[in-house]
Amino acid sequence: MKKFIRNYLVGDIPVSEYSTVTVRNEIIEKVYLEAGHIKKDISNTHWLLCLNPIVFGIWFRKDENIIAPGKDSLSKMYFKDSESDGIDVAVLELTLLDKIEEEDGTLILLKLGNVAVNHVSRFKTWVIFYRYYKKPEQNFYKLKSYSAAYSYPRKVRLISFKENNWFNIFPMDLVGDIPGSNRYVFGLRHTNVTLARIIETKKMVVSEIPYQFKDLIYQLGKHHRQPLSETKLSFEIIQSDIYKFPVPVWAVSYKEIKVVKTLNLGSHMLLWGEEINVRNLSNQSGHLYHIHFLHYLHQKIKEQAYPLI
């Protein structure tokens, strides 16, 4: 009976909260923001920046009409599983939380309210929740919220920092690089032991990394809560040009960032930064991305799944 139920729910797919994939050609999903009678493609200009509450950042250039809601009105975000004939796998209602204004554009911060997900049937979603996800810190709303937010692939990068003997490298996927500008936006947990030092020094390095080093990357995941020792690294590093921060020799590229603004979003701190140096290191292709398991299951059913890493 257990095998029958599992086959009905997920087949032979390993169940986890998030699935790690790579994108061989380009991301097929699309994301749209709707406010009033205007609907805009924000696929390449939106980023997930906080998990409690769920907060998205959306960039609008100065020459674009900002279609975000006012503080007392709602907008909707639609996550589609593909560009042509895509279905809405998630529909989100959002309210304005804050914004960061620059000379060439504005970063709008929207907080999630109600959410509906359609990766599989509502009945199957409930059963999957109770069988695999239900626990004190995870209710059904959280499952829907996270599966919606990760219905678009979130690229994994490495963050580096060093100050005297304090040394750390850790992966994160709440990162956005602003198209056509030298700006970056990050969402770091308040529990991250390096956050206060980054804010104080206003320095960090973000590296693009190939999926082939997944195991090493995930080993570094525990260092959100504890710093590293250079002598205990299992791979070689180089120093960034200006800050002299550690970067893995197998990184594709890195950017040295000056933090110019911070904003408390809830469980995460927003860091708004400017690139002061960029260095390309290799031609390796294929990055790591996170999508929610429910979205990966939906992809598998439609036979359009990204390669699982």
Q: What is the pLDDT of residues 98-141, one digit of tens each?
A: 999 999 999 999 999 999 999 999 999 998 898 888 888 889 99
**pLDDT at residue 231 tops 90:** no
**pLDDT at residue 227 tops 70:** no
Best-predicted range by mean pLDDT (63-67, 71-75, 116-120, 123-127):
116-120
**pLDDT at residue 291 tops 60:** yes
The count of C-alpha atoms lying within 13 angstroms of the C-alpha of 223, restricted to the half-sphere facing its C-beta, is 23
Output DSSP code: residue 208: E
Q: Do domains 28-152 and 157-280 have the same CATH topology?
A: yes
C-alpha torsion sign, points 82, 87, 90, 91: positive
Distance, in Å, from the CA atom of 111 to the CA atom of 54, rounded to the nearest integer, reads 6
CA 255 remoteness from chain centre: 18
pLDDT recorded at residue 3: 64
**pLDDT at residue 234 tops 70:** yes
Q: pLDDT tens digits, residue range 264-275?
A: 999 999 999 999
Pick the CATH number of 157-280 from 3.40.50.2000, 3.40.50.11750, 2.60.40.1120, 2.30.110.10: 2.30.110.10
C-beta atoms surrounding 158 within 10 Å: 22
**pLDDT at residue 235 tops 80:** yes
**pLDDT at residue 16 tops 80:** yes
pLDDT recorded at residue 72: 65
Q: What is the DSSP string of 30-79?
A: EEEEEETTEEEE-TTSEEEEEETTEEEEEEEETTS------TTS-EEEEE
Q: Please report, for the chain, the start and end positions of each structural domain, with discontinuous segments joined by +.
A: 28-152, 157-280
**pLDDT at residue 18 tops 70:** yes
Distance, in Å, from the CA atom of 181 to the CA atom of 258, rounded to the nearest integer, reads 14
Burial group, residue 132, by CB count within 10 angstroms (0-12, 13-18, 19+):
middle
**pLDDT at residue 250 tops 90:** yes
| Helical H segments across the chain, by residue range | 2-9, 122-128, 140-149, 195-201, 214-219, 293-302
CA 136 remoteness from chain centre: 24
37-41, 203-207, 229-233: lowest mean pLDDT where? 229-233
Output DSSP code: residue 291: E
pLDDT band, residue 2 (cuts 50/70/90): low
Q: What is the CATH number of domain 28-152?
A: 2.30.110.10
Nearest Cα to Cα of residue 296 among 156, 119, 139, 138: 119
pLDDT band, residue 10 (cuts 50/70/90): confident
Average pLDDT over residues 84-92: 89
**pLDDT at residue 297 tops 80:** yes
